[in-house]
Amino acid sequence: MVAGCSTVGVCTGEESYTTSPGFETRIQRGPSLRLEVSRSAPQPRGLTEGVMAYRNKTFVSFASDDIRSYRLMEAWRESKHIAFDFHDAHDLNTALDTSQPDTIRRRLRERLGNTKQVVLLVGAETRSIAARPSRFLHYEVEVIERLGLPVVFANLNGSRVIQRHRLPVALLNAYTVSVSFQPAIIKYALDNYVDGFPQAKRSKAGPHQYPASVYQRLSI
């Protein structure tokens, strides 16, 4: 482990450790915290909380206005003993230059190159922010749509139904699923919706949601 922290709480460096059987976590610290979890052995799927069976790298997309919710996701890993394999691109945001959109798209394609799925945090202003070329989320949504990645919309207001009026317009016709901003249902969506995405997208389009029975089975 090599790491250091400033007096204002900004840490740099990298550390690796085992969070639970079958997982190794690598943390890269800087202005933006990045977590990567490698799976070394198969884990059973299920509906109970514990180690989340995230078998693929997950990209979390969100407006900078909603960064507190992203920090909460990071906290879930510790407080709920959940092994997350997710990252974001907000460290690239510091270099945002709207006069060079092609450069932004290229860097996002590089960041999303190894991503298999997306969790997009949906807040009150997500749609309007995603429509502005001056905001980083605009380019994230554009690249996600072009790559055809499966997207789980996590409603920050706790709603369990589709909130079409808040979703980015560019993703309205894509086969997606909307869930509440809770770790158990996000895990469930990544384990089930994403697994069936390659086949389902051929016949399904637009946003979907889970029935109340799924939340009941998850005890939430």
Q: Are residues 99 and 24 in the same domain?
A: no
Q: Are residues 124 and 196 in the same domain?
A: yes
Q: Are residues 147 and 168 in the same domain?
A: yes
Query: For position 165, what pLDDT does the model report?
Result: 97
Query: Tens of pLDDT along 188-220?
Result: 998 899 889 999 999 999 999 999 999 999 999
Residue-wise over 46-74: b if at least 16 C-beta within 10 A, else e?
eeebebbbbbebbbbbbbeebeebbeebe
Q: Are residues 11 and 76 in the same domain?
A: no
CATH of the domain at 138: 3.40.50.11200
Q: Are residues 81 and 186 in the same domain?
A: yes
Q: Are residues 213 and 112 in the same domain?
A: yes
Local structure of 36: helix, strand or coil = strand
pTM of the model: 0.71
Q: Are residues 9 and 91 in the same domain?
A: no
Q: Are residues 60 and 168 in the same domain?
A: yes
- Could you list the residue range(s) of the whole structural domain that residue 29 is in? 1-40
Residue-wise over 145-157: b if at least 16 C-beta within 10 A, else e?
beeebbbbbbbbe
Do 71 and 42 touch, CB atoms closer than 8 A? Answer: no
Query: Tens of pLDDT along 83-142?
Result: 666 666 555 444 455 557 777 778 778 777 778 899 999 999 999 999 998 888 998 899
Q: Are residues 84 and 138 in the same domain?
A: yes
Do 196 and 189 touch, CB atoms closer than 8 A? Answer: no
Closest CA to 116 of 191, 52, 51: 191
Q: Are residues 25 and 58 in the same domain?
A: no
Number of compact structural domains in the chain: 2
Q: Are residues 101 and 128 in the same domain?
A: yes
Q: Are residues 80 and 183 in the same domain?
A: yes
